[in-house]
Each structure stands twice: as structure tokens, then as C-alpha cells.
Amino acid sequence: MEDSYEAIRHLMIAINKIDGGYYLCARKLGINENMLALLYALDDGEAHSQKQICEDWLIPKTTINTVVHELTEAGYITLIPGKKRREKIICLTEEGKKYTHSLVEKLYVAEQEALRETLEKFSPEFVEAMDCFAGNLEAAFHRHILG
């Protein structure tokens, strides 16, 4: 693509298709996309603070609080005190791990299939390139719009 404006539009359409795919999967699974994002984030086996989830997954604090409350009441997550005074660490319970696995199992299969098919055509560096582009775009937005 010669024109950078068209290249950006092409990337943005692709990104919207990715976002839309996860949105549709969440709906098909009977949850909202923010709950899927939270469970997906927690499924890496690491402890995450609510603040970290908000920042990494771009979910508003009030939304995370609502989803955390719902999942806590359902017995899928537990909150433990963090290192900082008001920080809460979110952890999946054993029941939450089973529930999350039941939701994301087919999602992971689809992701792996899509990645495998993409890597048959493109270099594995495309993942690094997307990450680089996202970081550069975020920084440029802050310089020019967000302050």
C-alpha cells in the first residue's frame, strides 16, 4: 500500500474485525466482552491487580468493579490485598479456572489456528510489528491528542 492513509485505514479495519470477533464470541458464550477480557487475562495463571487489568485491557475501573463483583458472587474469583494500600489482586478460584477453561478452550483453538495460518504466509515478526505499531500509535495519540 503506497498511501499511508490507506494503510492506516486497512489496519484499523483489521483491528476492528479482531475486536468484533471477540465481541461476537463473548456474546455466543453468554457473557459480555469485558467479562471475557477479564477471564482471558486471568487465565495466564498470574496474579493481576484491578488497576493492571484496567490499564492492559483498556477497561474502565467502574466496569472492572462491576465484573469483579459479579464473578466474586458467582465464586469464580477471589480478591486478595495487594502490596499497595487500596490495591486488590484478582485470582481465579478453582471453580473459576474450570469455568474460564470451559469458555476459552475453543477460543484458544481458533486463535492458534488463525495464527498458524497467518504464519504460513507471513513472518513471525508480524506480531512484533503489530505490538510496535500499537505502542507507537499510543505514544503519538498522547503527543497529539491526549496530552
Question: Where does the chain show beta strands of DSSP type E?
Answer: 48-49, 77-81, 88-92
State the pLDDT confidence band at 1, using cuts at 50, 70 and 90. Answer: very low
Which residues are CB-neighbours of 88 under 8 A, at least 6 positions away?
49, 50, 68, 79, 80, 81, 82
Q: Higher pLDDT residue, 12 or 2?
A: 12
Domain boundaries of the chain, sorted by first residue: 4-146
Cell readout for 113 is 489456528
Which residues are CB-neighbours of 118 under 8 A, at least 6 positions away?
126
User: Is the pLDDT score of 84 beyond 90?
Assistant: no
Cα–Cα distance for residue pair 6/145, rounded to 1 Å: 21
State the pLDDT confidence band at 37, using cuts at 50, 70 and 90. Answer: very high
User: Is the pLDDT score of 43 beyond 90?
Assistant: yes
What architecture does CATH give domain 4-146?
Orthogonal Bundle (1.10)
pTM of the model as a whole: 0.90
pLDDT in tens, 10-35: 999 999 999 999 999 999 999 999 99
